[in-house]
Chains A and B, each alone.
Chain A
Amino acid sequence: MTHATSGTAVVTLPSDTQVLITREFNAPRHLVYKAYTTPELVRRWWAGRRGQMTVAEIDLRVGGMWRFVMTSSEGMEVAFHGTYREIVPDERLVHTEVYEAMPDAEVLNTITLAEADGRTTMTVLVDCPTQEIRDGMMASGMEVGMQEAYDLIEQIAIELAEQA
């Protein structure tokens, strides 16, 4: 199976309360949209390599709810849910997201899909109510995927430290 894409998601921080994830796919955008909004397809990618999805519910209409539950390989269950705010098929999706272990920290995700030459650039803009919530969200993502990323960053950090 080919992986003819840029490979990595690029994360930037446009402001104190935002995170922007950008990624290109070797597929037209209607398929990216389909994979993003179809429960049985979401089940296959959303958890990445971190675990298995046990619940993927999507009520795709403005005001409709979604809920995803994943069981990590260590047996920890993590659940997220939210409400769809804006739906432009194949183009744009705006929905809230709550990590159920931190119910007060609701963020707003804006997903945009732009197609050129059969390839799709997806951006996910995460708007957080406060900087603390933004930083906390990023820190919590890191606990789970910690080991895999460590070598890469370690190498960069060592290089930087050696220059100093």
Chain B
Amino acid sequence: MYARHVARAATTADTFNAVAEPRRREILDLLATGERAVNELVDALALAQPQVSKHLRVLREVGAVDVHQDGRRRVYRLNGHALKPIHDWVKRYEQTWTERLEALDDVLEELKQKETGDDARD
């Protein structure tokens, strides 16, 4: 059975906040490689169970993860559709900086060569 996270529609801004927290990003990274039970997440993160559960609750509320019961285990997995808008947002902003700083790389290469040339003449 899947948890109901649709009581109130999560906004992109909510998702944004939920995934901004570094520990929650770690949880999402772990879940990106496959679904995990709560105790597996606790072990992998080296955090106390109540903390992990709290982070999972936040992620569930914005629909970033789904949970289902597998026997006695509560198993979490990523919900890619919910994460896509936020991923887009950060990645595109990141891309702007990546392009800008790649251009800076070229300038730096030139400055380095120029500096080496100056040293050689000293």
Contact = CB atoms under 8 A, between A and B. Distances in A.
**Chain A bound to chain B:** yes
Interface of A: 1-3, 5, 7-16, 19, 21, 23, 25-28, 31-32, 34-35, 41, 44-50, 131, 135, 138-139, 141-142, 144-146, 148-150, 152-153, 156-164
Contact of B96 (A10, A35, A141, A163): A141
A27 B77 contact: no
A135 B16 contact: yes
A49 B80 contact: no
A153 B87 contact: yes
B43 interface: no
Given A46-B100, A135-B13, A159-B80, A26 B93 contact: no
B96 to A, nearest CB: 4
B108 A35 contact: yes
Given A8-B94, A44-B107, 4 more contacts: A7-B98, A31-B112, A32-B108, A142-B89
A141 B95 CA distance: 9
Contact of B20 (A5, A13, A41, A162): A13
B84 A157 contact: yes
Contact of A25 (B17, B83, B105): B105
27 contacts: A1-B109, A2-B109, A3-B105, A7-B98, A9-B97, A11-B93, A13-B16, A13-B90, A15-B20, A28-B112, A31-B111, A32-B104, A35-B107, A35-B108, A45-B104, A46-B100, A48-B102, A142-B89, A145-B99, A149-B91, A152-B91, A160-B32, A161-B84, A163-B32, A163-B35, A163-B77, A164-B78
A23 B20 contact: no
A23 B97 contact: yes
Q: How extensive is the interface on chain B, given as a class? A: 35 or more
B2 to A, nearest CB: 11
Contacts of B95: 145, 148-149, 152
A45 B115 contact: no
Nearest to A49: B99
A26 to B, nearest CB: 7
A164 B34 CA distance: 9
Nearest to A158: B80
B66 interface: yes
Nearest to B22: A12
B103 interface: yes
Contacts of B79: 160, 164
Nearest to B92: A142
